[in-house]
Amino acid sequence: MRDTENVRQRLVARAEKLTEEALKIDAELREVDSPDWDDRATDSEGDEVLERLGVAAVNEIKEIRAAIRRIAAGTYGTCTTCRRPIGEQRLEAVPYTAKCINCANL
C-alpha cells in the first residue's frame, strides 16, 4: 500500500507555496505603473512574464487539488485515462499527475 498520507502532505505544502507565489505575483501586477514613460515598455514586458508565471502557478494548484481529491477517493496513482497504475518514477517526479506517461504523451 502506498503511503498516500506522506504524498498528501507534500502536495498540500507545494500548493501552499504556489498560492503564496501567485499572490505575490498578483500584488506585483497591481503595483502602480511607473510615471516615467521610458520605463513603461519594460514594465509591461515584465508583467507578461509575471502573468504567465501566475497562470502556471494557478494551473499547478488546480492539478494538486485534484490529486488531493484522488487521494481521498483512493484513486491516487491510477491513470485517469486508461485506469492503469502510474509508474513510481513518474509519481516521484510529478506527484500531482493524473495520467500515466503513455496517456500524458498522447
Cα–Cα distance list, 65 to 1, 84, 97 (Å): 22, 21, 11
Taking the C-alpha atoms of residue 2 and residue 34, their distance in angstroms, rounded to an integer, is 52
Per CB under 5 A, 81 contacts Zn ion? yes
Strand partners, 78: 85
- In whole angstroms, the minimum distance from the beta carbon of 82 to Zn ion comes to 3
Stretch that binds Zn ion, among 15-23, 33-41, 62-70, 96-104 (CB under 5 A): 96-104
Q: Which of 64, 79, 91, 98 binds Zn ion (CB under 5 A)?
A: 79
Per CB under 5 A, 82 contacts Zn ion? yes
Contact (Cβ atoms closer than 8 angstroms) between residue 79 and residue 86: yes
Q: Contact positions toward Zn ion, by CB under 5 A? A: 79, 81-82, 100, 103
